[in-house]
Amino acid sequence: MKMVQCAGCDRPILDRFLLNVLDRSWHAACVHCCECKCNLTEKCFSRDGKLYCRNDFFKRFGTKCTGCSQGISPTDLVRRARNKVFHLKCFTCMMCRKQLSTGEELYVLDEKCFICKEDYLNSRHNQ
């Protein structure tokens, strides 16, 4: 009888149970996210043979925030401006750093720089 090798640790699987993930056999303890190390008991995502939890997969390979260039996880709340996506904390006035809200008037300086209406009017008034 041929010994089954674990895809995670490369050691033989002598346990009573094994998991089959990505058409390979694993010790149950070896099926964990390569980023945060949490056990993957229900769903997992993979890229280049590595396993990820949902949040870490989307942070690494999903949509990136235009403000900070970090990944946006599926549970993050976001703001959209034109065709760009921002974390809530990154969608701020570049002058006063106030977080801008949906529907609030703002002035777009470029693809990722905004000024709230109050700062825009104050800057025009002081010229």
pLDDT of residue 36: 92
Co-location of 67 and 54 in the same domain: no
pLDDT above 60 (res 1): no
pLDDT of residue 122: 86
Residue of 91, 89, 84 lying closest to 115 (CA atoms): 91
pLDDT above 80 (res 79): yes
pLDDT of residue 81: 82
Instruction: Report pLDDT digits (tens) over 12-31.
Output: 988 887 788 888 888 888 89
pTM of the model: 0.61
Q: Where does a domain end: 37, 61, 85?
A: 61
Co-location of 36 and 80 in the same domain: no
Co-location of 4 and 47 in the same domain: yes
pLDDT above 60 (res 10): yes
Domain count of the fold of the chain: 2
Co-location of 72 and 86 in the same domain: yes
What's the chain's length in residues? 127
Instruction: Report pLDDT digits (tens) over 81-117.
Output: 878 899 999 999 889 999 888 788 888 877 778 888 8
Residue of 90, 89, 121 lying closest to 105 (CA atoms): 121
Co-location of 111 and 68 in the same domain: yes
- CA atoms lying within 13 Å on the CB side of residue 30: 20
